Structure 1
Amino acid sequence: MTTPDLPEIAPERTALLAMDFQNGIVASVPESDALVERVKGAIADVRAAGGTIGYVRVAFTEDDWAKIPATNKTFGALAAARMMHHEDDATRIDERIAPEDDDIVVRKIRFGAVSTTDLDDQLRDRGIDTVILSGISTSGVVLSTLMDLADRDYRVYVLTDGVADHAPDVNRVLVHEVFPSRAHLIDTARLAELLKAA
């Protein structure tokens, strides 16, 4: 599914975010290898057009765990179990889409990519006003980041075949019924077309 009459994409003002594509998460969603390959292709297309690539991963230090209150249902449990330590292999970005030297890479400690990182500053420093989202999971990092970036007045695209969720029905509802009022929907094939036309 793509949004009809999409606005043109200016690659020099555009970033594609690959969110939570890390070793401990990728295999937890259906057809993960195909998902990674599609995102890998989108990354290559954006790079070739002169756009920016950003990577977001979730990982914690001892200090991070210590600061998470038990009132936080999700992250309190992660902290109590000492899961997703920033040096663990589970928190490393999947090597098939590994970052390159000039890419943005941020480490987050909550669902969204913005609230606990300097991602917004890094995007603005590069003149980015358009962000394309890919990630795992649609109901976690993608939803949270979409809402935050929309509130900050970015033009937001969701790469519909570059997102996945542990619950496919949840993915479908978010992509088809929630996201269209907040973001432009685009698949990897349409993204490639828009970048070639830029």
Structure 2
Amino acid sequence: MANSALLVMDVQQDIVDIVDDGSGYLPRLSKAIDGARAAGIPVIYVTIGLPPGDPEVSPRNRVITNAVRDGLFAEGDAGTEIHPDVAPRQGDGVVTKRRGSAFSGSDFDLVLRRRGIDSLVVTGLATSGVVLSTLCQAVDLDFGITVLVDACLDTDPELHRVLTERLFPRWGDVVTVEDWLQVIAPR
């Protein structure tokens, strides 16, 4: 675990308001973050932020175009802030991306390489959005993958289930927050 980082992706106020179903997501995520910090595992936050006004988004990108139309993701807006229940602390990394994947339009790869990170422990909103997009690229870049299944959430529970039970296990480990904490707990 020495070369791992915990990724907290798109856990921003507006996205939490849309995706969180009241299932205790934020307390579980907070527990994972606290566990990572206690174990000396870096925590890296990834957010989506677009320049205000008329961001460079092709109408072919339906997800981002619809979000912009709905007033989401504008840098500087209160809704793009990381949710206060899981806010970064001094020493945590924060990366702003411009598209779905953490690697798209950001310095994420550089941040990982600079820290010597070769394994990613993935959390985020939504499973079918940032989590899937980031994992696709991370697998191609030969990162080790662990997905914290109950620290990812989607507006479509069935899609979340299919991804976490059928696809993600082909790419890496899929475990609960509690099981992961047992593995990383300082002894």
**TM-score normalised over the length of structure 2:** 0.93
Gaps of 5+ in 2: none
2:153 equivalent in structure 1: 164
SS at match of 1:67: coil
Runs of 4+ with >6 A deviation: none
- Asked if structure 2 preserves the Cα contact closer than 8 Å seen for 1:146 and 1:183, the reply is no
1:106 equivalent in structure 2: 95
The Cα shift of 1:24 comes to 0.2
SS at match of 1:93: coil
CA distance in 2, matches of 1:117, 1:33: 31
Please, what is the CA RMSD of the aligned residues? 1.7
Instruction: Give the letter aligned to residue 57 of structure 1.
Output: T
CA distance in 1, matches of 2:91, 2:168: 30
2:168 equivalent in structure 1: 179
1:59 equivalent in structure 2: 49
CA distance in 2, matches of 1:70, 1:192: 42
Q: List aligned pairs for 1:1-198, cutoff 5 A.
A: 10=1, 12-32=2-22, 34-62=24-52, 65-80=54-69, 82-196=71-185
Instruction: Give the letter aligned to residue 129 of structure 1.
Output: D
Which stretch of structure 1 is more off in the superposition, 136-145 or 113-122? 113-122
CA distance in 1, matches of 2:130, 2:140: 15
Which stretch of structure 1 is more off in the superposition, 107-116 or 135-144? 107-116
- Asked if structure 1 preserves the Cα contact closer than 8 Å seen for 2:10 and 2:46, the reply is yes
SS at match of 1:66: coil
Identity fraction in percent: 33
Instruction: Give the letter aligned to residue 127 of structure 1.
Output: G
> Aligned residues, how many?
187
CA distance in 2, matches of 1:189, 1:66: 40
1:58-106 deviation digits (Å, cap 9, x = unpaired): 121137x432122222223334555321111110001111111211101
